[in-house]
Structure 1
């Protein structure tokens, strides 16, 4: 985890210096607070909005002012400036803030549709898993576990990176995204690296890639 700092020209960033110009900015959120605040906001937006009386629409949007009040009751130091710093500096594109609304882009366990997100245009997508699990997935297809959507990667490299968080010997499943899309399976592009689907039936898995 890294500190969140601010560059006067390029805004909030994480790490020692601005990725764009190298400026060493003032710390806005120290790294220990980045971790605590990030886990809390992600939890509220992905998993338990009802616990805090936060109304979420089918696309995952909630009222930003209401979220701020919830966050500030938990962390008195987390004002509007701090919360926006966390959101805008996030390299993984976890959040989207638009006008007076905010949402998590992916990772939901609560039911959402995300109908206002674009469809992915990639011909191939990738899913990283273990060798043991790949046998089951090739037979039954890829289905979400503890989440609303399956998370697919846009590149082989990114899928390997994700898989290595769970196993030292990842297997990558290559998915025929073009055929799946042509057959009516909705593939949601949430950022440069992640595409979501309700599920991927086995007929769209082209092959295993052993690394």
Structure 2
């Protein structure tokens, strides 16, 4: 659920970090339904909802709200903001009258983030995938970008969604970028790339 604290804004859970119970904005079911709608609208099918997404992934906040209210009569702009501002993963960003997803797109967008500054990045894979990745590199099959993690721990957490015993690959980001591979810093934990050629990959040793 999402609540609103008078002093600290929107939060998820029973109580704010300050101890205040807060005012209920969205119950668990509403949070899940609205979250799925926003993800679909900003990552996968904006055209189906009549959203004019620009090349960098931005759509108008008010246009998104109108589409949202058409689907869910109980929704409104404040509830949209409650989803965005309480999201611990930082999936979305709002600038002025525009909103976009930071990552996870299947639609063709050209995100304009700052270049990654970390010398090494990480990618978790199943044991069955590792040999193929080391031979052919990492390419995204369903999403617009390859998603890399900024820490080994985050890479393991992501990989464990799909496999119980992930193998971590180390990406030589510094060399890759020096040789022309573009890597974009989407969030504190996620870096995006079109693809990672195999020569920049190695298996992380225990």
Residue 173 of structure 1 aligns to a residue whose secondary structure is: strand
Structure 1 distance, partners of 2:165, 2:188, is 25
Is residue 18 from structure 1 mapped to residue 13 from structure 2 by the alignment? no
Q: 1:177 matched to which residue of 2?
A: 173
Residue 138 of structure 2 aligns to a residue whose secondary structure is: coil
Please give the residue correspondences for 1:1-211 in structure 2 after superposition, counting only pairs within 5 Å: 3-19=1-17, 21-115=18-112, 117-205=113-201, 207-209=202-204
Q: Which runs of 4+ in 1 moved over 4 A?
A: none
TM-score, normalised relative to structure 1: 0.95
Q: Is the 8 A contact 1:16 1:24 kept in 2?
A: yes
Structure 2 distance, partners of 1:210, 1:159, is 14
Structure 2 distance, partners of 1:210, 1:161, is 17
Structure 1 distance, partners of 2:195, 2:12, is 34
Q: Is the 8 A contact 1:5 1:12 kept in 2?
A: yes
TM-score, normalised relative to structure 2: 0.97
Residue 125 of structure 1 aligns to a residue whose secondary structure is: strand
Gaps of 5+ in 2: none
Q: How many aligned positions are there? A: 206
